[in-house]
Amino acid sequence: MFLSPGFAGAGIASILGNAQPLFIAAIGFFFLQERLSPLRALALLFGLIGVIVIVSPSFGAKENALLIGSLIALMTSLSAAIGTVLGRYIKLGDSIVAFVGTQLATGGIILLFASLIFENDSIEWTPAFLGILLFLAILNTAFVAWAWFYLLQREQASGLGMYLFLVPVLGVAWAYVFAGERPEPTSFLGGAIVLLAVFTQEFEGFRRRVR
C-alpha cells in the first residue's frame, strides 16, 4: 500500500488501492453467493467515479515504473478483499479477538524479522513516537480490524465494502483539519459523488426494510 505510490504516482495508486469494494463484490458473488442488485451496482459505480475525481489532481505526478506500481496497488486491494471475504466465509463466532490477535501477531513478527534484514535506519524512541505508535497499534489497527471482522459476521461483505470508498473522502477532510491542507475543488465534487454512492446503498437497504 505504501510502496505503490512511489512507482505509479499518488493518483493511480490511490484509485487502484481503493478498488477493494469492487473486488469484494466480485469475489463475494462467487464464494458467498452475494448477488448485486442494480442499485448496489450503481452505488459501486458512483463510488469508483468519486474516488477517481478526488485523486485526479495527482495524475501524472510520477510516471516511473507505472506498471509495477499499478500491479502492487491492485495486489493490495485484491489481498485485502480476499481477507474480507474469508473473514465472512469461515464464520468466526465468538473467536474474533483471538483471530485478529493471531493474525496481527503473525504478520508483525514476519515484518519485524524482515526489517532486521532489509532496513538499517534506527528508530528514535521519543515519547511522541511511542504515543503515535500506540495509537496506531491499538485504535487504527487492532480495534479497527476487530470491528471490521465483527461486522462481517453480521452484514454482507459487498455491502460493507461500499463504505471503504469513504476512505479518501475522510482522508481529505482530516488533512484539512489537522494539517491545514486546502482541498482541491475536485475533492468536494468527488466527495459528493462518493456520498451519493453511500446514500444509494442506504436507500436500497431502507427500501428492503420497508418491503
Q: Within 10 A of 65 (CB to CB), how many other CB atoms are there?
A: 14
CA proximity to 80, closest of 142, 7, 22, 12: 22
The answer to whether residue 206 scores a pLDDT higher than 70 is no
Percent above pLDDT 90 for the chain: 14
Buried b (16+ CB within 10 A) or exposed e, 144-154: ebbebbeebee
Region 13-42: mean pLDDT is 76
Using alpha carbons only, give the angle 22, 88, 208 rounded to the nearest 5 degrees.
Answer: 70
Region 53-79: mean pLDDT is 69
Q: Strand, coil or helix: what is 37? A: coil
Residue that has been written with the C-alpha cell 454512492 in this structure:
197
The one-letter amino acid code at 69 reads G
Amino acid 207: pLDDT = 65
Most confident of 28-42, 77-91, 171-185: 77-91
Q: Write the DSSP symbol of residue 92.
A: -
The answer to whether residue 36 scores a pLDDT higher than 80 is no
Q: Write the DSSP symbol of residue 65.
A: T
Exposure of 122 by Cβ count < 10 A (0-12 exposed, 13-18 middle, 19+ buried)?
A: exposed
Q: Distance between CA atoms of 118 and 30, rounded to whole angstroms?
A: 39
**Residue 158 — pLDDT band, cuts 50, 70, 90?**
confident
Q: Within 10 A of 107 (CB to CB), how many other CB atoms are there?
A: 11
pTM of the model: 0.71
CA proximity to 162, closest of 135, 200, 131: 200
